[in-house]
Structure formats: C-alpha cells, structure tokens
Amino acid sequence: MKKLFLNICLFFCTAAAAWAQGAAVEPGSWKAYDLIKKADALKAQRSSETYEQAMANYAEAEIIIKDDITKNETEGKFNKLALLYFQNSQLQFKLLQDELNKAQQGIPFDTLMFCQRVDNVIECYNKSQENNVKPNAKGKVKENKNLSNLNEMGLRGVLTLYYNCGVFMDGMGNKQASVDYFQKFVDLPRSTSIFTKEDADSIYAKQEKIYSLARYNLALQNYALKNWDKAIENAKEALKDTIDVQNLYIVLRDCYGEKKDSVMWAQTLVEAAERTGNTNFYSQLVQYYMETKKTEEANQLIEKMVQEQPGKVSTWYIKGYIELDVKKDYAAARESFAKALEINPDAKEVLRPMAMSYVNDILNQIYDKKFKYIGTNRQITARGRGAEVEKAYAKEKAIYDKELATVKSYYEKALPYLERLRELTPDKPSLWAADLQLVYSNLGMTEKAKEMDEVLYQYNQTLQGK
C-alpha cells in the first residue's frame, strides 16, 4: 500500500491569520487585552527570561477570557461572547505560532500542542460567528458585520492546518487521529456557519488538488484501520481527480473483497482496467472466475456489460477473455475479440488474447487427441503387398498432411495479431516475443523463431541488469 501524500501547507495560513489579528475590533476582555499586549512586547525582546514571562501573561489572559466566556454564556450575552471567542482565537493563534514556526523550519516541535492549538483557533472562530448571529431574547440578531468579516478572513487563513495535523498524527503512528484531522479538513468549508454554500464551493474548487490529496489519504488511512465503507467513500471521491488512480482502485478492490461484495469487486476491476489501461485488472477478474468456477456470476457480468456498454472495447474484451480462459469456448471468444477489434483495430489488450484463442484452441485439440497423428507417437505405416502398400501409405500420408495443414492454419491465423502487437509495443517484448517464437516454430519459420530467441535473451539480460 502506498504512503500518504504529505504535502505541508503551513505557509498558506500565516498571512490571513496575521491580518485577522491586526484588524480593529473591540476586545472581549480589556484586562486580557492588556496582558496580551504586554506579552507581545516581552516576546519581541527575544530573550529566554522575557519569553517565559510572555508565556505566563498569555496563560493568564487565556484564563481570564475563558472565565468571561463562562460568565457571559450564563447571562446569555451573545454579542459579548462573539467578541470573547474572537479574542481567544487570536490568542490561540499566538500560542500556536511558536510550534508553527518550528514546523515550517523543519525542526522538532510539540505535535500534540500544535494540533490542540489548531483545534482551539478554529473552534473559537466558529463559536464567535455562531454567537455573532444568534438571536437575543427578543428574537433579534445584532450581527457585528466587521466581526463576521474577521471571522471569515481568519478561518480562511488557517484552513490548511487541519491537513497538516493529519500528516503529523500519521507521523506519530496515530492513524485514527490522522483520519479525524483529514476528515475535519475535508468537512470544514461545509460544516462551518462562517462560509456560505457558495463560499464553500469556491474553496473546494480553488484548492481542488489538496482536497483530493486529503481524500486519497483518508482512503488509505481508513483502509489501514479496516473502515471499509469510509475507505470506499473517500477513494471514490479521490478518483474524481487523477492522483495515483491505480492505487486508489486497489483500495476499492480490496475493500469490496473484504466486504465480500463480489459484484462491486468485479465492477471495480473492469473500471480500473478501463481507466488505467492496466489489463492486469482484467486478468485478476478472469483468474477469480477460473478459481471459483462461478460461471453464472461471470455470465451475469457479461450480459450486463453487453446490454449497457455494447460500444466499448472493454465489454467485448472481458467477454472474450472469460470465454477464452473460463469457459474454454474458443470460437465464442474469437467472435467477442473480433467485435472489440471492429471498434478499435489497434486495441493492444485484445490482440494477444485473439491470437491465443487460435493457439489455445489447437493445442487443446491436440491435447484431447482429436488427431490421428498430430500430437501422438504414431508413425505412418501401411500394410499390404506391392502397389497396395503404396496406396495405403499415400492414404495415411494424406491424413497426416491434412492434420498438419489444419494445425498450421490456426498458427497462421494467430500470427498477424501477434505481429501487429509487436509493431504497436516494440519496447515490450514480454507481451509478444515468447508467443511469436512458438508460432514461428510451428510454422517452420526457423529464422524468425531464432530472432525471437535472441529478443527474449536480450530482454532477460536487461531484467537481470547485465
């Protein structure tokens, strides 16, 4: 299984958050405001002694704000609460700043504190806005428009931090917490009352790539945690983008396998092969039907594909492959592959199985002893006297020649498909060299067969790094 995409987006958060801190708005608590101002001045001196005093002042201010929040919640003073929560959001960002700076510089930092402060900042923005638009006892809303704007700007400035928390928690080996933070990141634009639906849609559109990355990470993390349904949900969302599509289909395939949903498992393999061009997904499907002998299930899949997508190469390809390898109905397989090649004569994935439908057919006939001479140890003999011997021998020789011609006809029909495959994929001899060597040998094309021997030798040498 792939690892997470660990894009660090910390630098996107600082400008807007700093703007929110510097904007003019009445403090929720003047006493806390004075302490915060003193702390800012002490911290700016950049000494260990003043830093400790600054942190003490911040901590004292935090207690004051929290006490005031509790008091005003009891009294139902929503406008005051809105200001207090906004003030706390700015304080929480100041307390986050040191860990944020360390993370940006790539030096060790307190991950748990970082994530807790991010939670605090975002919660305070949300709480501020909730109270800012909450009706009072008379049912009236006295929204502070300036505060609404500040909450919106502030939240926009820290949106990406939940993504980072997901990354950091994964680095600590806490996959569940990682999932929780990636989910918060994905949900936040929709779940907050600060943004309108239009705002949220715009955010998702403008940062589509990072939200797709988060979905990708959620798919992998939920898969690791055996949360099959969540992994499926996020994999499907992530597949709307182009990020590591093949691995996402593997997640989907394995989740459906764990859920014992063979129908969706099969559909996933078909879709994966179509989108990625990796025919190994088809091979896995055929192998499954071969091993389980579920021919009825295979038939249902074929019928569904033919009815719903008769104009797609993949429909006839998978139909032919199942007929070829599961049902061993070579004539039917050829008909299906022929329909696929009518749609696209150069469908690389179809050319080899079309050729093998001839090769396997004749090899199967030989194995089943359909011939008197070919495939047996029997010698051409004749009994009788004089001319009778010659006549009897000629008769048996004619039988042998006819059988040989029949066998060769199958290889002759297979040959152009393999040669075309070679033309289309000259750099992939693993797809055609061994089969061409077999066909050339059986057609008595000695030089061509030797050429394939050399191609295979060079290919194997390359694989071995020689």
The string of pLDDT tens digits covering residues 101-131 is 888 788 899 999 999 999 999 999 999 999 9
* pLDDT value of position 178: 95
The pair of structure tokens assigned to 388 is 């009778």
Q: How far apart are CA 184 and CA 123, in angstroms?
A: 12
Mean pLDDT of the chain: 90
Does pLDDT of 59 surpass 70? yes
Percent share of the chain, pLDDT over 90: 71
Does pLDDT of 16 surpass 50? no
Percent share of the chain, pLDDT over 70: 94
Does pLDDT of 445 surpass 90? yes
Give just the sign of the alpha carbon dihedral 197, 203, 209, 212. Answer: negative
Q: Sorting pLDDT into bands at 50, 70 and 90, what band is 466?
A: low
The pair of structure tokens assigned to 356 is 């093998």
Q: How far apart are CA 165 and CA 172, in angstroms?
A: 11
Q: How far apart are CA 126 and CA 120, in angstroms?
A: 10
- Domain architecture of the chain: domains with CATH: 10-206 (no CATH), 261-368 (1.25.40.10), 377-466 (no CATH)
Give just the sign of the alpha carbon dihedral 48, 49, 51, 52. Answer: positive
The pair of structure tokens assigned to 231 is 């992994």
Q: How far apart are CA 219 and CA 187, in angstroms?
A: 15
CA neighbor of 119 nearest in space, from 89, 147, 152, 75: 89
Give just the sign of the alpha carbon dihedral 262, 266, 267, 268. Answer: positive
